Amino acid sequence: MPRFRDTQMGSKPSGAPRVVEPKNVVRMVDEAGIGALNRARELGICTVFDRFVAQQPQCGFGYKGICCRICIAGPCRIKAGDGPGSRGICGATAYTIVARYIARLIAGGAASHSDHGRHLAYVLSKVAAGNLADYQVTDPAKLVWLAGRLGLDPTGKDHLTLAAEVARTALNDFSKHDEEPCLFLDSTITAARRRKFDQTNIYPRAIDREVVNVLAGTTMGMDADPVNIIFQGLRTALADYTGMQISTDLSDVLFGTPQPVVSEANLGVLDPQQVNIAVHGHNPLVSLMLVEAARKLKTEAVAVGASGINLVGICCTGNEMLMRAGVKMAANVASQELVLMTGVVDAMVVDVQCIMSSLPVICNCFHTKMFTTNWVAKIPGAEHMAFNEATAQADAEHMIREAIHAFKNRDREKVTLFEIKNQVVAGFSLEALYGLFGAIDPETPVKVLTDAILAGKIKGVCLFAGCNNLKSFQDASHLGIVKELAKNDVFLVATGCSAGAFAKAGLLNAAAVEAYAGPGLKAFLKELEIANQGKLEAGLPLIFHMGSCVDNVRAMNLCTDMANQLGVDVPKVPFVASAPEAMHEKAVAIGSWGVAMGLPVHVGAMPPIEGSELVYGLTTQIAADVFGGHFIFEMDDQVASEKLLAALEYRTWKLGVHHQMKEKYATALYQGY
């Protein structure tokens, strides 16, 4: 555990409640959302907010991670400190049960992200073979750059040949059978991290292999050593990173690398005059095809009396559409059902991940058509429209026509609008960020950021990521912590539902800089704005939206570049991450690779880990000694902010000391942490 300035800061969380007001159904701070929730209650429609309250109090054994259901002799609970009740039927102790479950959560996350990446890799290889007419290489410059990064020689090769090689390299990272590095990981980390992963034996051999390995190693009668299990989990977390890097890179190649874009967010983006289609899920393969189809079929919507077709995004596919096409954002994960309360959603199209299976029931309370599109995610009550890449455009057009048809059946009596929306400036891929920094230093754009940190203008960088978890009020912790860090001059980037929370609340725009940035951050952003005069119609936002959850690798790539620029490894870079409302297995996987990469990672919802002091200590303390990164579990926003700031200050201070010593004794920069 790093020695923070405040010695009272331990690795245990403060006494803040684990569930805020457990009986209160109105578990959010967003006015539009509260309006929609009230409307749901008026209509007698049950939502996630009611279901959360109905689950209280949740099982204490499960909460601590000491309930095991891995074999059918179970479920077993650790009921006593000693004697027969202190072990599962097979003899597994608390630390084994806790570690096994955490490792399996990571495997679930890695499987989700990687499957998303695999889908893109298959599509890219089919595009390269000339077998898919509806997709193409949209960003050949990124393709060439990516090929170079992966060590492929682009000379003399046309784009399709190169695309085939890149796709093959990606697919190889999933399923190769040798001990060679996974290239999408290996080409994006520091040399020192590579050594660290080798020394600690957590370098993934292939994505699929690591997921299988963890499942095999955590079955009944297998690995009982919690340290070994957690390290296998970390190896799988790095496989998760690999799959995410594949997803982000290949999405950029196929759909374009995001550039700054101005849009809007919150329930007010639904337009009663237009055919509204809510698009929910993760993979841009479906959502961006719908964007094109909607443009094409506008006249058909006008023919039925609508003024146009209004696509709105939910969750990460919403982020993908916002980043690349400026599509408006309606909701993040906990308010996905509330979008329907407007009564103006004519169709909801979903693909994979984070989709509540209650949605079809709610669609049935309105005229809303609901389509599932992926064979691994069918939901009873929704119409399954098998989305086939070979007929992608036609499939997308079919769903849009169904929405146009549904528009005609809209029940005007049930329309209730919640007219709150905020301006959003998004589209900050790493390339886009470097475009901004490059206006000051075209040679080494990242130096603009590291110099500002070394000069004390800003305190460091914080990545906000992750979900909603209704153990606290929806979005409240995201907003509370980010405002505190902004006030303290931290450069802020965000992804996933965290970015969604900020978008809805109006923090992703220039007005928020005025309202919340501390003097140092304000001056830094002003300097960037002046250097980019004329290029940014809406100015710079308080927080830079870097994309969907898989795009957390964009933020990690930034951190790696900062490390290389500073001449140190990641654990010395003033860079922290926070998932104030982590919920999904994917969030556990991301947080875990964040720690292995060397980041302090705050999580505001306690994972099922407290049943073992040993595993808790491994993740919050020992991890810091081994990897330089560690988890900070804290439910109180103020305390969490202080811990994140302390972690940044500590790193900046240490970096400064090492720089001073380097100059004083004319030596190389000290590499330890």
Considering only 99, 549, 601, 609, the residue that binds ligand BF8 (CB under 6 A) is 549
Considering only 354, 476, 503, 655, the residue that binds ligand BF8 (CB under 6 A) is 354
Maximal C-alpha separation, the chain: 78
Nearer to ligand BF8 among residue 458 and residue 587 (C-beta): 587
Q: Which two tokens stand for residue 88?
A: 């599962």
User: What one-letter code names the amino acid at 422?
Assistant: N
Within 567-606, the residues that bind ligand SF4 by CB under 6 A are none
Residue 584: CB minimum distance to ligand BF8, A: 4
Q: Should residue 315 be labelled a site residue for ligand BF8 when binding is judged by CB under 6 A?
A: yes
Chain centre to alpha carbon of residue 658: 33
Q: Should residue 62 be labelled a site residue for ligand SF4 when binding is judged by CB under 6 A?
A: no
User: How far, in Å, CA of 366 to CA of 281, rounded?
Assistant: 21
Triad 388, 390, 393: Cα angle to 5°: 80
Q: Should residue 586 be labelled a site residue for ligand BF8 when binding is judged by CB under 6 A?
A: yes
Considering only 217, 313, 445, 496, the residue that binds ligand BF8 (CB under 6 A) is 496
Considering only 45, 331, 497, 601, the residue that binds ligand BF8 (CB under 6 A) is 497
CA-nearest of 379, 346, 349 to 282 is 349
Q: Should residue 344 be labelled a site residue for ligand BF8 when binding is judged by CB under 6 A?
A: no
Which option in ligand SF4, ligand BF8, none does residue 543 bind, with CB closer than 5 to 8 A by kind?
none
Which option in ligand BF8, ligand SF4, none does residue 257 bind, with CB closer than 5 to 8 A by kind?
none
x/- letters, 257..296, toward ligand BF8 (CB under 6 A): -------------------------x--------------
Considering only 16, 20, 53, 71, the residue that binds ligand SF4 (CB under 6 A) is 71
Distance set, CA 219 to CA 22, 79, 234, 617 (Å): 35, 21, 17, 24
Q: Should residue 215 be labelled a site residue for ligand SF4 when binding is judged by CB under 6 A?
A: no
Considering only 92, 239, 321, 370, the residue that binds ligand SF4 (CB under 6 A) is 92
Q: Should residue 555 be labelled a site residue for ligand BF8 when binding is judged by CB under 6 A?
A: no
x/- letters, 138..177, toward ligand SF4 (CB under 6 A): ----------------------------------------
Cα Rg for the chain, rounded, in angstroms? 24
Q: Which two tokens stand for residue 320?
A: 């993908």
CB 350, CB 381: distance < 8 Å: no
Which option in ligand BF8, ligand SF4, none does residue 74 bind, with CB closer than 5 to 8 A by kind?
ligand SF4
Considering only 17, 42, 73, 364, the residue that binds ligand SF4 (CB under 6 A) is 73
CB 500, CB 331: distance < 8 Å: yes
Indicate the pairing of strand 309-314 with strand 275-280: parallel
CA-nearest of 372, 335, 404 to 35 is 335
Q: Which two tokens stand for residue 476?
A: 């409240």
Which option in ligand BF8, ligand SF4, none does residue 496 bind, with CB closer than 5 to 8 A by kind?
ligand BF8
Nearer to ligand BF8 among residue 289 and residue 587 (C-beta): 587
Residue 478: CB minimum distance to ligand BF8, A: 11
Within 452-481, the residues that bind ligand BF8 by CB under 6 A are 466-467
User: Please, is 294 exposed, middle or buried when counting C-beta atoms within 10 Å of its C-beta (0-12, 13-18, 19+)?
Assistant: buried
Q: Cis omega (within 30 of 0) on the bond before 181?
A: no
Q: Which two tokens stand for residue 595?
A: 């720690």
Q: Per CB under 6 A, which region of 47-55, 178-186, 506-514, 583-591 contacts ligand BF8?
A: 583-591
354's torsion region: left (phi>0), alpha (psi -120 to 50) or beta?
left
Q: Which residues contact 445 (CB under 8 A, 6 or more apart)?
A: 433, 434, 435, 436, 437, 438
Q: Per CB under 6 A, which region of 30-38, 83-91, 382-390, 469-477 contacts ligand SF4?
A: 83-91
Number of residues that bind ligand SF4 (CB under 6 A): 14
Nearer to ligand BF8 among residue 162 and residue 325 (C-beta): 325
> In this structure, how many other beta carbons lie within 10 angstroms of the beta carbon of residue 158?
10
Nearer to ligand SF4 among residue 133 and residue 216 (C-beta): 216
Triad 434, 438, 441: Cα angle to 5°: 130
Residue 93: CB minimum distance to ligand SF4, A: 9
End-to-end CA distance of the chain: 12
Q: Per CB under 6 A, which region of 29-37, 581-589, 630-638, 641-649 contacts ligand BF8?
A: 581-589
Q: Should residue 102 be labelled a site residue for ligand SF4 when binding is judged by CB under 6 A?
A: no
User: Please, is 152 exposed, middle or buried when counting C-beta atoms within 10 Å of its C-beta (0-12, 13-18, 19+)?
Assistant: middle
* DSSP structural state of residue 58: P
Indicate the pairing of strand 261-265 with strand 422-426: antiparallel
**Residues of the shown chain interacting with ligand SF4 in the complex, contacts defined by CB under 6 A:** 68-71, 73-76, 88-90, 92, 97, 220
**Site for ligand BF8, rule CB under 6 A:** 282, 315-316, 333, 354, 466-467, 496-497, 548-549, 583-584, 586-587
